[in-house]
Structure 1
Amino acid sequence: MNQKPQPNIYPWLAGMLVLTGFWFRLSYMLGQVYHVDEFITMLAATMVAQKGLPFLPSGLFYDHGFLYSEISGLFVALLGFSEEVTRWPSILVSVLTIAVYYAAARRLFNSRLAGVAAAALAAFDQLSIVWGVRARMYSLAHLFVLLSLVSLLESTFKRPSLRGRYLTLLFITLALLSHTISFLLLAPLAILVLAFTLFYRHSWLRQPGVGLQVVVAAATIGAVLAIVAMGQLQSTVSLQDPNALAPAPLGLNFLRGFLDPAISPDRFDDLLSYFENPAFYWLLVLIAIWWLVSIVR
């Protein structure tokens, strides 16, 4: 007697997690609890709606969270200004990230259960809920950092693809434009690619167009650094000062901002300090276990 095939419940579970995550974030927004930093983003969004770029009334170019300011400004231009309107892009992106976690984990581990577990972590994580509501750039950076990592693993490590690596470059660029802290990813990713190439597979280096990709990547990162440099206070002041020896963006102040985009080694310490929180100890245990498993295998 043939048994009827059992229905696949995992996509339904993933859908329920997305809806539940949306409800948590919507509930937090309805509580109308604001972080002080949100108001500068709201001002930047208003300026984008009026001028197209986040030039503050002081004349300062607000590059911090440039991409989020542009998206939030579009919402303000279409719907009018309110605190909730500037928060909606963050909520929508945060909810989308839950679905991306499901799809990414399912594809990388070839397991629907892994996808559901990843989506559950994203849906119920307290920081993801709180910062997935606030009118700041963190949810957007979260999404594009995730997409960058998944795309890199797929297009370079699993199935080398020239087109896929251009997509990876796009995601990395969007992550950098979302939050400058994403620059911290570049060095670890470069080390990861180098180690993989040396010890596992270097066939992707023989694909045509790799050299062009390196040039495009360098030019893209340079363009992002230029945007960040324009937002440095010294560069903006020099731009407005008629007595400056060389007005930005061609002056020394602009170059200083270009070479030092407000990222210092201390930021790595800030990033690692999150794992000193007892709430993340279980995650360190899982990382250690999977690291040992990967060595044995």
Structure 2
Amino acid sequence: MLSLLSYLIQIRFRKFVSKGDYLAMLLISGLYIGTAIISYVHYEQIQGFFYFFFIDSVMYHTSRNDIELLRVYKYYRFLIWFEYLFYSLPFLIVLILKGDYIGSSSVLIGYFLLSFIPKKRRAFIIKYPFSLATPFWLISFRKFKLIGVLPVVFLFCVMGYQHNNGGLVVASFVILGIIACLPSCERERDVELKVSYLNAKEYLQQQIKHEVLNTLVLLLPLAVLMCVLVFDWSYVFWACLILGLPIGNTIVKYAFFESELKQQLFIASCFIGFGIPLLSLPFLYNRAIRQLNQVKNVES
């Protein structure tokens, strides 16, 4: 049974990262644990909204397609319950450490009852207002169900305003920046680049342009909300910074188009080096054009 659980966990993570990318799996696990630690420190401020973290398992249950396959296993409901328990373990530990035994027990019972709920296919498809020049935005939002994260982003803004906590507002901008960077982590196939009528420079500029437009679709509602609640120039700085993240990630993607690992290592070096490697973006821009020319088999 443990081997089966391990297999299910790997399948779950491979929806977010490429196959065999254990470094990305480790980073996602660290993100879960880090979020739980931050929630533990600020539990009193977010106590009323803490249970939103457990919605992830509910959304996963409604979108999974392997329930019928799991029914061949006699104790499949216990397997599903334990799987969701494992995913939410860091947040359950926070509830236990804070002495909220009623809440933690409710989550355990809720997960078990969730295994009895059959999956229902939705009769409607959410239409996103993104430019199809970069189809990975549409793919990422439907694949990762990112629409469910956006209410949390706006909720953090309102909570930050009510409790006079600028950290929550900054956290909402950071979450939005991570969402905006996810589409530019996906890669086109070589044949898609070769059939493009644009040259390498025009193609790169087009991708950057539409990354900015799609990011503005997410950023403008948040910016308007903050202007209505409270205007602060520091939030304008964060908005500009978030707008620059997908631009930088797009340049880095094409600069290291031949290797996802190199792109991930560069991003990691930006965190370790306090953003100093970002000074090399002008050079990476030229490298990205050369890489695109190589894929298109064009002499520079």
Q: Shorter-chain-normalised TM-score: which range?
A: 0.3 to 0.5
TM-score by length of 2: 0.34
TM-score by length of 1: 0.34
